[in-house]
Structure 1
Amino acid sequence: MGSRAHYVIIEDGRHRNLYSQWGAHEIDLDLLPGPGSALRFARAQHPVEAWTDAEMCDGAALFDLDTRTLLWFGHCDGDPAVRTAALMALRRTWPGWTVEWAYNGLMDVVARLGTDPAAIRAPRAMPVADDLRTPEDFHAAFPQMRLSPEAYPPGSLLPRELPLGPIGLGEADPDEPWGSVLLTVRQEGRVSAYDVDGTPAIIAENGAERVFEYLASWTPRTRLPRPPVAGVHLDADARRAGVWTSYPDLLGEPAMSAALWPSWRWDLWQDRSGEQLDRCDGAVEVPAPDLCAGFDRLSERFTKHQDGGSAVEGISMLLSVVGGLRAAAEEQGARLRADTGAAMLHRPIDLEEHERKATETAIEEVRP
């Protein structure tokens, strides 16, 4: 487990790749004080050669000192309003720099280095061992997994690789607090809207045929209970689609799933949600993110982060639980062996008082 983050520093045409197992969840807070402290922080992380795969990387920052460009992404407390507040503050605390969001996550970072983004895509197929040649063999070895009897009839010979995914789609639970995806469809001149539990990448990876099969049994919505974190618009009449997102969840889609959308054209709208709403003909009411609340939460998180942040809290809790279990085991005359090597400490950089104050002032200055 963890909150995996990469930090890439480009200088004089060469790059260094650094890594933290726990850094991604609050990467926006480590960047907020500006390039001086952010680079001190990044250079203190662990040098690595390899990359995590794109789906496993939760945050990254690329510091291009040659072009004075910051390319980054992160969780931002799971709130589009916090993300917007962070981006507004960063443009104040990084004067003279271009601040960009990586909509395809780590794929955008490695692409900036000239690496093929497909090289870090998670595997889309599982190799089948020589002794698991039939569905019966496979089920005996992996009882928790199920193969479709239509695709793999009993007694049939399995292929050398079984495709993984795509993950299925479902309607979002209106009572859940986290954001969902607004999916709108224009068909025969009319627009219908759906509240989807998933990501734009998952929608694209399912392909046109499967997506429209899902929609046949879903209930159209006229109002979303919360601001969406992303959106996909499908114009079935023109066979044209558009996608926007406030998170790094495109992951190279829909380009990598183009074969599943034959003759469709996709437009990438970055985080411009208005592009979708302009095409909805008022079919759905969508609450706007609360930007004032986003700034409040950003300020609260930044203050708390300077005292150690959630990574230190999580690691402290883990070590406390392990210590309690070890003591309980010893009371029973047993001995507990625990490997806590993965609980590597991650903490923010120590800021000078003037750096902390300047960051707090910048947040207040750009607050609406």
Structure 2
Amino acid sequence: MGNRANFVVVEDQDWQLYYSHWGGCRMLDALIGGPELALRYAASLRRCKKTDWCDPLWADGGAVVDLDRQRVLFFGEPLMMTMNERRALMDVLPIVWPGYEICWAYDGTEELAGYVGADLPPVKWGRQPELKLVRRRNNLCHLISVVEADDALRFWPLKWHLSLAWHGPALLNKLPGKGVGRIRLGMIPEGGAHIDMHRKTLGAWQTADTMGVFRALPELWPGWQIEVWEDGFEEHVSRCGGALRVPELDVIAGIDTAERWLTKRIFESFEDSPAGRIAELAGMLAPITPGFVVSADALADRGVRPTQAEWSRVLSACDQVRSAHAKSA
């Protein structure tokens, strides 16, 4: 049990690897306060050998903080899966990290390891994510659109988390049902692919897949022209003309939601934290399960929080982004 993450600090042309048991789904807790908070966070973690990377199948997140090149590369955060919050936070982070380039690690652990020149063992997994239609249009989905040989356009809103481009061209024969010719979604998808059978092109974008799909696409789709759109849902919408409708991007709403959620999560009590819940569960099980042991990583809560000055800078950055988008509206 855990939300595992690799955390790397690069300094003086060398790097140190750390392990976080609960950071994988809350990487912003470490990064939102700027460099000083990130370094305090790293110092609170377990130092690892440079070969002891968390398996990409188990890693929910990770980050590289490169002090030499002033660059942050990270993934692993539910707030980054919904587009309003994602775009808002990617505006906030450069303000609290002045002079740094802030980047999303679209290919997850593999991309972090590659950044510092580490070699990971090959990951063995099926690479065949489930193809299941999402019936409710107000839920997140992974959107597949296909321009068929006769130039007809069809859509499939499918279960999200892993890119369905992992299936390769065989995806075209696996899509459930006939699809729909027009679609209006109540939420911007977390990712998708636009496949043009006539031109033999694939455009893919995503926010949630951490298994390295972008790097794998040339192998998965041999002979196809590949376009990587990162998190560019706008390109997907543009390619589909008026047949695809999604809500307007609302960065101000994203700032409001992200600020509320981060405040609650970062400043939660120990009892409400994952480590606190595990400690409570361990105490309940101890009398009835002799020898039951919980790892030190699972129980660790170092209390690394932003200082008052750091948190004030975060709130000020949020206000700056609100103001900028209000003026441009």
What is residue 41 of structure 2 aligned with on the other side? 41
TM-score (norm 1): 0.78
SS in 1 for 2:144: strand
Residue number among 113, 116, 123 corresponding to 2:116 in the alignment: 113
Match of 1:123 in 2: 124
Matched-pair identity in % = 27
Q: Do 2:214 and 2:228's aligned partners in 1 also have CA atoms closer than 8 Å?
A: no
Contact preservation (8 Å) 1:7, 1:60 = yes
Deviation at 1:306, TM superposition (A): 3.7
Matched ranges for 1:144-159 at <5 A: none
Q: Distance in 2 between matches of 1:215 and 1:310?
A: 45
Decide whether the 8 Å contact of 1:200 with 1:231 is kept in 2: no
- The question of 1:266 aligning with 2:247 is answered no
Alpha-carbon RMSD across the aligned residues, in angstroms, is 2.5
Would the alpha carbon gap of residues 223 and 357 (structure 1) be closer, same or farther in structure 2, given more than 3 Å must change?
A: same
Match of 2:248 among 288, 305, 321: 288
Structure 2 counterpart of 1:227, from 188, 193, 198: 188
**Length-normalised TM-score, structure 2:** 0.87
- Per the alignment, residue 213 of structure 1 pairs with 173
Pair 224,120 (structure 1): closer, same or farther in 2 beyond 3 Å: farther
Question: Match of 2:145?
Answer: 184
Match status 1:304 vs 2:305: no
Question: Is 2:320 aligned against 1:365?
Answer: yes
Residue 23 of structure 2: aligned partner? 23
Change (3 A) 1:103 1:237: same
Give the 3-state SS of the residue equivalent to 1:166 in structure 2. Answer: coil
- Are the counterparts in 2 of residues 102 and 108 from structure 1 also a CA contact under 8 Å? yes
Task: Say whether 1:317 aligns with 2:277.
Answer: yes
| Deviation at residue 94 of structure 1 after TM alignment | 0.7
Structure 2 unaligned residues grouped into runs of 5+: none
Q: CA offset at residue 287 of structure 1?
A: 2.1
Which residue pairs with 2:100 in the alignment? 97
The alpha-carbon deviation at position 256 of structure 1 amounts to 2.8
Q: Say if 1:308 and 1:347, in contact at 8 Å, map to a contact too.
A: no
- Identify if the C-alpha distance between structure 1 residues 346 and 238 changes in structure 2 by more than 3 Å, giving closer, same or farther: farther
When residues 234 and 200 of structure 1 are mapped into structure 2, their CA distance, relative to the original with a 3 A threshold, is farther
Letter in 1 for 2:279: L
Partner of 1:70: 72
TM superposition shift of 1:349: 1.7
* Aligned position for 1:204: 165
Asked if structure 2 preserves the Cα contact closer than 8 Å seen for 1:8 and 1:16, the reply is: yes
Q: Structure 1 359/215 Cα, relative in aligned 2: closer, same or farther at 3 Å?
A: same
> Displacement of 1:312 after TM fit?
5.1
Work out the CA distance in 2 between the residues paired with 1:198 and 1:91: 28
Shift of 1:337: 4.5
1:37-84 deviation line (CA, Å, top 9, x unaligned):
211211221111211122321111111111111111122334332222
Q: Residue in 1 aligned with 2:299?
A: 344
Determine the C-alpha separation between the residues in 1 that align with 2:169 and 2:270: 40
Q: Are the equivalent residues in 2 in contact too, given 1:308–1:348 (CA < 8 A)?
A: no
1:124-152 CA-partner distances (Å, limit 9, x unpaired): 3xxxxxxxxxxxxxxxxxxxxxxxxxxxx
Aligned length: 317
- Show CA shifts across 1:219-252 (max 9, x none): 32522232201121101111100111223x1633
CA contact (8 A) 1:33 1:356 kept: yes
Q: For residue 233 of structure 1, what is the amino acid of its counterpart?
A: H
8 Å Cα contact 1:233-1:243 kept in structure 2: yes
Distance 1:109 1:186, change over 3 A: same
Ranges in structure 1 where 5+ consecutive residues have no aligned partner:
125-163, 330-334
Q: 1:32, 1:96 → 2: CA distance? A: 15
CA deviation profile, 1:260-318 (whole Å, cap 9, x unmatched): 42311211111111111111021121223543332122211232234247995233233
In 1, Cα distance between equivalents of 2:193 and 2:184: 16
On the 8 A contact 1:26/1:76 being kept in 2, the answer is yes
Select which of 82, 85, 89 maps to 1:86.
89
Q: Contact (CA 8 Å) 1:53, 1:121: kept in 2 or not? A: no
Residue equivalent to 1:137: none
In structure 1, what is the equivalent of residue 207 of structure 2?
246
Equivalent residue for 1:151?
A: none
| Matches of 1:321 and 1:180, distance apart in 2 | 34
Of the two, which has the highest radius of gyration? 1
| Letter aligned with residue 357 of structure 1 | S
- SS of 1:343 mapped into structure 2: helix
Q: Distance in 2 between matches of 1:316 and 1:10?
A: 31
Contact 2:7–2:19 (8 Å) recurs in 1: yes
After TM superposition, list the pairs within 5 Å mapping 1:166-181 onto structure 2: 166-174=128-136, 177=139, 179-181=140-142
Please report how far the alpha carbon of residue 193 of structure 1 lies from its aligned counterpart in structure 2 after TM superposition: 1.6
1:130 counterpart residue number: none
